[in-house]
A = this chain, B = another copy of it.
Amino acid sequence: MNSPVDAEEPERRRLTKPGRKTRDRIIEAAAELMFHHGVGGTSIPDIQAAAGVSASQIYHYFGDKQGLVLAVVNFQTDTKLDQQRPLLDNLDSIAALRAWCETAADRQDAMGCVGGCEIGSLASELAETDPSARTDLSASFDRWELPIRSGLARMQTRGELSEHADVTALATALLAAIQGGMLLSQVRRSSTAYRHAVSAVIDHIESYLVP
């Protein structure tokens, strides 16, 4: 690792349009490589080659590899949340929760259950070695949990879900089932574990429906 050429939050610096395009291209290339090979298995030269940029351009935009990793964490979070936004904004019925998790299961099947969760993999790799990344990954998980909790809270407000349901705990439990289920499915190369994991928690949430 070279030392950073600029440690002052370079991602917030005002960029020209071509500059933003280059920066985005670097992040996308890094995200793709890190998804397949891990952060530790992805070198700056690998990213240079994939993005068609020089090392100095990478250091210019991100300061150092750690800065780029943080950008990748936030890019993956933003991208995946955006992709799933219509589903995420409407998680206020049991059917919607099942449909959302089913979509993710089908996506895993389509990839042969290779790769696991983009966020979960980064979290497991970086939690003990990169405190800034851990903080950002914690915020990322919060951003995933929020639409689940909001949907359950709307069900509760409408009187569909019992007032005894702890919607925060249930939202966390579903996010954990998704993460653990995706890890087991990745290792086993079968979405069955993921499907069982999310079904159990959604069945449990369903038990709080007001008859």
- Given contacts A123-B183, A127-B186, A187-B134, whether A194 and B207 have CB atoms under 8 Å apart is no
**Contact (A177, B173) CB under 8 Å given A128-B115, A200-B201:** yes
Across the interface, A197 reaches (CB within 8 A) one of B123, B172, B189, namely: B172
Indicate how many identical chains form the complex.
Answer: 2
By Cβ-Cβ distance, the 4 closest A-B pairs, closest first, are A180-B180, A40-B40, A176-B197, A176-B180
Q: Are A187 and B123 neighbours in the complex by a CB distance under 8 Å?
A: yes
21 CB-based A-B contacts, threshold 8 Å: A120-B124, A120-B183, A123-B186, A124-B124, A124-B183, A124-B186, A138-B187, A138-B189, A141-B187, A169-B196, A169-B199, A172-B184, A172-B197, A175-B184, A176-B180, A176-B183, A180-B183, A180-B197, A200-B201, A201-B201, A204-B204
Known: A173-B181, A179-B179. 20 other contacts (CB 8 A): A37-B129, A40-B40, A41-B129, A123-B183, A123-B186, A128-B186, A141-B184, A168-B196, A169-B196, A170-B200, A172-B197, A173-B200, A175-B184, A176-B183, A176-B193, A176-B197, A177-B201, A200-B200, A201-B201, A204-B207
Identify which of residues 143-200 in chain A touch chain B, using a CB-to-CB cut-off of 8 Å.
Answer: 166, 168-170, 172-181, 183-184, 186-189, 192-194, 196-197, 199-200
Within the complex, the shortest CB–CB distance from A43 to chain B, in Å, comes to 12
**A114-B128, A127-B116, A129-B41 known; A179 and B184 CB under 8 Å?**
yes
How many residues on the A side are at the interface (Cβ–Cβ under 8 A)?
A: 51
Q: Report A33 CB to chain B, min CB distance, Å.
A: 12
Q: Which residue of B lies closest to A192 (CB)?
A: B172
A203 in the interface (beta carbon within 8 A): yes
Main secondary structure of the interface of A (DSSP, over half): helix
- Chain B residues within 8 Å of A180, by CB: 175-181, 183, 197
Whether a CB of chain B sits under 8 angstroms from the CB of A6 is: no
A201 shortest CB reach to chain B, Å = 5
